[in-house]
Homo-oligomer: A and B are copies of this chain.
Amino acid sequence: MPVAADRTTSDRLLDAAVELFARHGFHGTSIRDIAERAGVNVAAGHYHYGSKAGLYLAVLRAQFAEVRSELARRGIEPPASAVRRASRRELVRLFEARVTAMLEFLLGPPPSAHGQLMLREMCDPTEALPIIVAEFIEPQTREMERLVARLIPDAAREVVSDIAFSVIGQVLFYRFTMPVALRLRRESRYPRGFARKTARHITTFSLNAIDGMAAGARSRARAR
């Protein structure tokens, strides 16, 4: 089943490589598989990308550049000034919107290749990992920190950072443990609306945690 034909050889290689690397990993995918799927010669990979590793790197570069622009397109990257001025109600809305967007983005349907490739980089970090961090994880963490900082004022930078990590952690968790979660649920894929429903839970859980920690900090401050 070759990829769409009206594209350059290098693009078709990239498309096929995304599919197969995501599905079977670097070691589990052969140049010949990729070439066959792309409908090109085995030598094309080396000609256009130098080596198998070069092709893999190009795949991740392309994917996570796309991730960044996709997230920007969905408009969940409001200018920092907007977050600074937002009311509590607006902050909560932004929080849930962000969590929902990330989950929908990662869980599909169909399940995106991004999540799988990211997971693979956690298993076997390559020189592509810095790209993923820079293009996806770092900006998402910073934006989340900005939101959290407004939701729990006067908290130490480190506390804010830990909380942002807990939130992002819950989100990524639902992607990374998908095979297990589905097995526990005895289903073959997440049901319709699962991302939204899960986002609601994570939001509720996390906002209660944040509010509780803020209240705790206030009462400790009074006791001093």
Q: Residues of A with Cβ closer than 8 Å to B?
A: 24-25, 27-28, 116, 119-125, 129-130, 132-133, 137-138, 141, 162-163, 165-166, 169-170, 172-174, 176-181, 183-184, 201-202, 204-213, 216
**Shortest distance from the beta carbon of A12 to any chain B beta carbon, whole Å:** 25
A27 vs B123: C-alpha distance in the bound complex, in angstroms?
13
Contacts of A162 on B, CB cut-off 8 Å?
201, 205
Q: Give me 23 A-to-B residue pairs in the complex whose CB atoms sit less than 8 angstroms apart, sorted by A's number.
A: A24-B124, A25-B27, A27-B28, A120-B123, A122-B179, A125-B179, A133-B180, A133-B184, A162-B201, A163-B205, A166-B170, A166-B202, A169-B173, A169-B174, A172-B173, A172-B176, A172-B177, A204-B213, A208-B212, A208-B216, A209-B209, A209-B212, A211-B212
Question: By the criterion CB–CB under 8 Å, are B133 and A205 in contact?
Answer: no
Q: A50 vs B213: C-alpha distance in the bound complex, in angstroms?
A: 55
- Chain B residues lying within 8 Å of A130, measured Cβ to Cβ, are 183
Contact present for A170 and B172 (CB under 8 Å)? no
Chain B residues near A119 (CB, 8 Å)?
Answer: 122-123, 176
Query: Is the CB–CB distance between B176 and A176 below 8 Å?
Result: yes
9 new A-B contacts, CB < 8 A, other than A165-B181, A169-B169, are A25-B124, A123-B123, A130-B183, A166-B201, A166-B205, A204-B216, A205-B209, A205-B213, A208-B212
| Cα(A113)–Cα(B37), bound, Å | 35
A184: which B residues are within 8 A, CB to CB? 133, 137-138, 141
A216's nearest neighbour on chain B, judged by CB, is: B208
Residues on the B chain within 8 Å of A170, using CB: 166, 169-170, 173
Of A166, A176, A183, most buried by chain B (CB within 10 Å of CB) is: A166
